[in-house]
């Protein structure tokens, strides 16, 4: 099992709240960050709603120097820096101001696509033969590892500084990759998270696929309906979440606050075989991922008190519930509490896993299970498998000991991590 790994800091830049305090209050109260977007109407999108962080310029100025802000046009990078730097500060860590890198600290921060607006701006300049006007920051804003490079330099980290990418599983995958690096003794502290750009050039492909809830343009806060019989598709979103993972020994030596412990997890793929495809999960792989995560965490399936699912508000929600039930051999009233935050934040794509991991761990801090909004009419295929009492409509008081969180992504890729309330 290697060394014990704990979470000592968290940060979030989410559609319904920026910063832990605002995000926590939003989850407790079921506040939605999904809004009408007039730009999408102007561009003739069928779905004209989206979920993106309301990040004001005066807040951004606290994270970047005037030089760094010059020509900055990459929303996902900005979200990632805000969440990452907040997590670092929340952990009681400081920027490295010495003449040596911190060899024991690293960054593993993922994304799906970075700087798409900067790409568009650059393409126009190149096509207009104005390549000299691209600016010196174009490359770092448009390379996938730009976010980890930014954070690694801001913090002076000397351990591994890299970026992962696995579609909607990116954030949860990153948590497990950073966990393994510390558990194996290759680092003491890792900043991990993921981010996603905002805007029509990111969301347009999904609108073209007709998998977004265009019928809800007039009532955006009701549009994202995970586990609901009236779900019409997922709402596109963006943002970033971040966690500081640390060896237990390091955390104790620093006297750091500990939010939770990571017991283990699993990553796999369904190989796009059988029912699995680029956009659909292979159920056997999903179930194996969950079962191996339980095994690797050294627990029993019955030890899990709650689940934060992937649950995107599509036709696959019922299948996901069935897979959880099969993997854990639990159903009806014996099934753990389960929730999805996508009713409040939409589907934040590559940022989904990291934002949702932060929300999952906050339930230990708040001694509760956050509620599911917009699923008063739970899908009948779901209630055939689990009791509706296991799907709280509002936040309920509860002291979870172990929570499972999973993310499933395009390409038939799966990630499941097991979090535990910390016990010395």
Contact 352, 167 (CB under 8 A): no
Give residue 197's pLDDT. Answer: 96
What's the average model confidence in pLDDT over 76-94?
A: 98
What's the average model confidence in pLDDT over 362-368?
A: 98
Band of residue 165 on the pLDDT scale cut at 50, 70, 90: very high
% of residues, the chain, pLDDT over 70 = 99
CA distance 386 to 41: 39
Contact 294, 38 (CB under 8 A): no
Residue of 83, 82, 131 whose CA lies nearest to 139: 131
Residues in the chain: 424
Give residue 1's pLDDT. Answer: 60
CA distance 319 to 4: 34
CA distance 43 to 234: 19
Encode pLDDT of 214-228 as tens digits. Answer: 999 999 999 999 999
264-420: in CATH 3.40.47.10: yes
Domain boundaries, the chain: 5-254, 264-420
Contact 125, 141 (CB under 8 A): no
Under CATH, what is the fold of the domain 5-254?
A: Peroxisomal Thiolase; Chain A, domain 1 (3.40.47)
DSSP string, 355-418: HHHHHHHHHHHHTEEPPPPS-SSB-HHHHTTB-GGGS-SS-EE---SEEEEEEEETTTEEEEEE
Q: Which residues pair with 221 in a beta bridge?
A: none
% of residues, the chain, pLDDT over 90 = 89
Give residue 121's pLDDT. Answer: 81
Is the per-residue pLDDT at 116 higher than 90? no
Q: Which residues pair with 368 in a beta bridge?
A: 397
Give residue 117's pLDDT. Answer: 86
What's the average model confidence in pLDDT over 192-221?
A: 96
What's the average model confidence in pLDDT over 402-422?
A: 98
Q: Is 1 helix (H, G, I), strand (E, B) or coil?
A: coil
Band of residue 74 on the pLDDT scale cut at 50, 70, 90: confident
Give residue 122's pLDDT. Answer: 76
Encode pLDDT of 237-289 as tens digits. Answer: 999 999 999 999 999 999 999 999 999 999 999 999 999 999 999 999 999 99
Give residue 233's pLDDT. Answer: 97
Residue of 409, 420, 351 whose CA lies nearest to 84: 351
Band of residue 168 on the pLDDT scale cut at 50, 70, 90: very high
Contact 171, 416 (CB under 8 A): no
CA distance 208 to 202: 11
Mean pLDDT across the chain: 96
CA distance 407 to 309: 7
Contact 51, 15 (CB under 8 A): yes
Is the per-residue pLDDT at 206 higher than 80? yes
Give residue 139's pLDDT. Answer: 82
What's the average model confidence in pLDDT over 157-162?
A: 98
Is the per-residue pLDDT at 167 higher than 90? yes
Structure tokens at 248: 């237990």
Is the per-residue pLDDT at 133 higher than 80? no
Encode pLDDT of 32-62 as tens digits. Answer: 999 999 999 999 999 999 999 999 988 999 9
Q: Choose the weakest-confidence range: 83-87, 120-124, 349-353, 368-372.
A: 120-124
DSSP string, 240-254: EEEEEEEEHHHHHHH
pTM (global) more than 0.85:
yes
- Give CA separation, 166 vs 134, 279, 310, 415, in Å: 29, 13, 14, 10
Structure tokens at 294: 């339980």
Q: Is 315 helix (H, G, I), strand (E, B) or coil?
A: coil
Phi and psi of 195, rounded to 5°?
-145, 165
Sequence-separated (6 or more) residues with CB below 8 Å from residue 22: none
Band of residue 92 on the pLDDT scale cut at 50, 70, 90: very high
Is the per-residue pLDDT at 329 higher than 90? yes
CA distance 370 to 334: 19
Is the per-residue pLDDT at 17 higher than 90? yes
Give helix then strand counts, H and E, for the chain.
16, 15
Query: What is the rounded (10 degree) CA torsion for 282, 283, 285, 288?
Result: 180
Is the per-residue pLDDT at 119 higher than 80? no
CA distance 46 to 232: 13
């Amino acid at each position: 099992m290697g060394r014990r790994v704990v979470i000592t800091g968290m940060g979030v830049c989410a559609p319904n709240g920026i910063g832990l305090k605002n995000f926590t209050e939003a989850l407790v109260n079921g506040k939605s960050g999904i809004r009408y977007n007039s730009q999408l109407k102007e561009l003739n999108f069928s779905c004209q709603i989206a979920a993106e962080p309301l990040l004001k310029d005066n807040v951004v100025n606290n994270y970047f120097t005037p030089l760094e802000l010059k020509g900055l046009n990459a929303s996902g990078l900005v979200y990632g820096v805000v969440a990452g730097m907040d997590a670092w500060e929340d952990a009681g860590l400081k920027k490295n101001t010495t003449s040596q890198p911190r060899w024991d600290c690293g960054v593993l921060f993922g994304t799906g696509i970075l700087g798409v607006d900067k790409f568009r701006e650059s393409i126009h300049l190149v096509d207009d033969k104005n390549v000299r006007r691209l600016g010196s920051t174009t490359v770092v804003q448009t390379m996938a590892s730009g976010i980890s490079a930014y954070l690694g330099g801001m913090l002076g980290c000397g351990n591994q500084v890299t970026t992962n990418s696995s579609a909607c599983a990116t954030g949860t995958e990153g948590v497990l990759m950073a966990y393994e690096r510390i558990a194996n003794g290759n680092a003491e502290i890792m900043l991990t998270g993921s981010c996603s750009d905002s805007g029509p050039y990111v969301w347009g492909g999904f609108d073209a696929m007709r998998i977004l809830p265009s019928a809800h343009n007039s009532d955006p806060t009701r549009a994202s309906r995970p586990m609901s019989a009236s779900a019409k598709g997922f709402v596109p979103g963006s943002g970033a979440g971040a966690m500081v993972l640390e060896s237990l020994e390091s955390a104790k030596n620093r006297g750091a606050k500990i939010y939770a412990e990571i017991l283990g997890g699993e990553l796999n793929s369904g190989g796009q075989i059988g029912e699995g495809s680029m956009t659909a999960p292979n159920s056997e792989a999903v179930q194996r991922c969950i079962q191996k995560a339980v095994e690797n965490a050294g627990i029993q399936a019955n030890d899990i008190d709650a689940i934060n699912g992937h649950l995107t508000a599509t036709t696959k929600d019922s299948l996901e519930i069935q897979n959880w039930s099969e993997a854990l051999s639990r159903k009806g009233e014996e099934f753990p509490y389960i929730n999805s935050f996508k009713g409040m934040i939409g589907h934040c794509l590559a940022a989904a896993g990291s934002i949702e991991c932060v929300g999952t761990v906050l339930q230990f801090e708040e001694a509760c299970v956050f509620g599911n909004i917009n699923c008063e009419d739970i899908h009948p295929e779901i209630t055939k498998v689990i009791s509706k009492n296991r799907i709280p409509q509002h936040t309920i008081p509860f002291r979870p000991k172990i929570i499972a969180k999973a993310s499933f992504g395009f390409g038939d890729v799966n990630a499941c991590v097991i979090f535990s309330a910390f016990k010395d």
